Amino acid sequence: MILDERTLSLIVVALVAAVIVLVLWVAWLQRSEALLRRRLRRVLPEGESGGIDEILDRQLTSIDSLTGRVDALNKLHHELEGLSQRTIQKVGVIRYNPFADTGGDQSFAIALLDSLGNGVVLSSLHSRTDTRVFAKPVQSGRSRYQLSDEEQDAIKKALAPTS
């Protein structure tokens, strides 16, 4: 089979076109590879040795470790949040003078409550001869014991929204 000149020139043109397409494709691949390397340098730490697979495996291990630590911190956060709900968060203090024959507001009522209004109200009555201290439990802003006006005011003050 003998190729004529026209067929041979068509084959040469087709081969030249294929070579041009392949050169353009290789240039595009090199550009893509350079962009990928630039992006990887921004993401990966400096001084990493080894191939890209080894570096990515180390990064994945590091991310897994960080995920575990974040999960542990989230669990601790929720535990501390629950615990803090039962700590003293609201305080109300009322000072007063229950007796006309004593000087100053030496008596007081103080409410120490958690976020749900549970806690204790302490009161002290000061007179010329002695001082008496009382403690009454508080549940949801109320006590099963009879409260004085000052003790009720201390609880209301503690439960009042702060601005």
Closest of 161, 162, 135 to residue 148, by C-alpha: 135
| In-domain check, residue 30 | yes
63 plus 38 within the same structural domain:
no
pLDDT at residue 129 in the model: 84
pLDDT at residue 21 in the model: 97
pLDDT at residue 48 in the model: 65
The SS3 call for residue 52 is helix
pLDDT at residue 122 in the model: 97
pLDDT at residue 1 in the model: 57
pLDDT at residue 108 in the model: 95
pLDDT at residue 163 in the model: 59
Domain boundaries, position 64: 52-84
Question: Along the chain (163 residues), what's the average pLDDT of each consecutive run of 10 residues?
Answer: 80 95 97 88 71 81 94 96 90 89 84 94 90 94 94 95 73
CB 141 within 8 A of CB 160: no
| In-domain check, residue 21 | yes
pTM: predicted TM-score of the whole model, two decimal places: 0.58
Number of domains in the chain: 3
CA pair distance 94, 154, nearest whole angstrom: 6
CA pair distance 13, 19, nearest whole angstrom: 10
| In-domain check, residue 29 | yes
pLDDT at residue 18 in the model: 96
| In-domain check, residue 47 | no
DSSP state of 117: S
CB 96 within 8 A of CB 123: no
